[in-house]
Amino acid sequence: MTQELDRDEVEDGVAPAIPLPADKDLLKAFYSGHRLLSPLGGNLELLAVREGDDGTGRAILECSTSSLRFELTVKKATRTEKQRVREAQADGSDPTCPRHGSEQRLSRLGPHWFCPQCGVRYGRAS
């Protein structure tokens, strides 16, 4: 009998993801949806996005050549970014991710606005 593992089990069952340095160019490519180059050659493919600690995001990436997993910590929202989200909300429009651009709507996660693409919390939803 085969049992399907959920993502958490898969992720925890293998070696822990290797932290990637929060390099500016890497983050820029990540926000714009461009290909991310693996430190080991090949590309990094996005496997999952999680909430990190204290409003940060965590992107789990897999190297296409080595199958090693990497984790990119996405820094938390700035005051300006939260302000922008608040203003969009006050205008009655659907807030979008200040980093991913106007195509990426934020989701509600509990009392917070959350970007499903970067895992960052962008302040409280009212």
What residues have CB less than 8 Å from 112, skipping those under 6 apart? Answer: 121, 122, 123, 124, 125
Strands 18-20, 69-74: pairing kind: parallel
Block residue for tokens 């926000």: 31
* Alpha-carbon gap, residue 114 to 65, rounded angstroms: 31
Max Cα distance, the chain (Å): 54
Which positions from 61 to 100 touch Zn ion by CB under 5 A, shown as an x/- string?
------------------------------------x-xx
Query: Looking at 1-9, 37-45, 75-83, 115-123, which segment touches Zn ion (CB under 5 A)?
Result: 115-123
- Asked whether position 117 contacts Zn ion by CB under 5 A, the answer is yes
Query: Looking at 5-13, 22-30, 43-51, 108-116, which segment touches Zn ion (CB under 5 A)?
Result: 108-116
- Calculate the CA dihedral of residues 89, 92, 98, 103 and round it to 10 degrees: 150
Q: How many residues bind Zn ion (CB under 5 A)?
A: 6
The C-alpha angle with vertex 89 and arms to 85 and 92, in degrees rounded to 5, equals: 145
User: Of 4 and 79, which CB lies nearer to Zn ion in the complex structure?
Assistant: 79
| Selected binder of Zn ion within 115, 122, 123, 125 (CB under 5 A) | 115
**Nearest distance from residue 17's CB to Zn ion, in Å?**
19
Residues that bind Zn ion (CB under 5 A): 97, 99-100, 115, 117-118
